[in-house]
Amino acid sequence: MNIIFIFIFAMWLLILVGGGIVVVLLGPIEISGFGESDRIIKSGIQVVISVILVIIWILALSKIKNWIFHKQLKT
């Protein structure tokens, strides 16, 4: 039963770290030199980076889940 708590803790930890990365690193991105398209390009870059982070987080959680449940099945 304790193993599920480890998974939930890891999940929340990844959510908090991901939110921090998005706020600290992606929020202040500034693009200039493209005229009226600056905001659209900035948003596009932020979206691409955010989607990549989400994919990485899903893969990380999947690996953690598989590791935890394989460990539990062996015992």
4-60, pLDDT tens digit by residue?
787 788 888 888 888 888 888 888 888 888 888 888 888 888 889 888 888 988 898
pLDDT at site 27: 80
Neighbours of 29 (CB within 10 A): 12
DSSP states of the chain: -HHHHHHHHHHHHHHHHHHHHIIIIITT----SSGGGHHHHHHHHHHHHHHHHHHHHHHHHHHHHHHHHHHHHH-
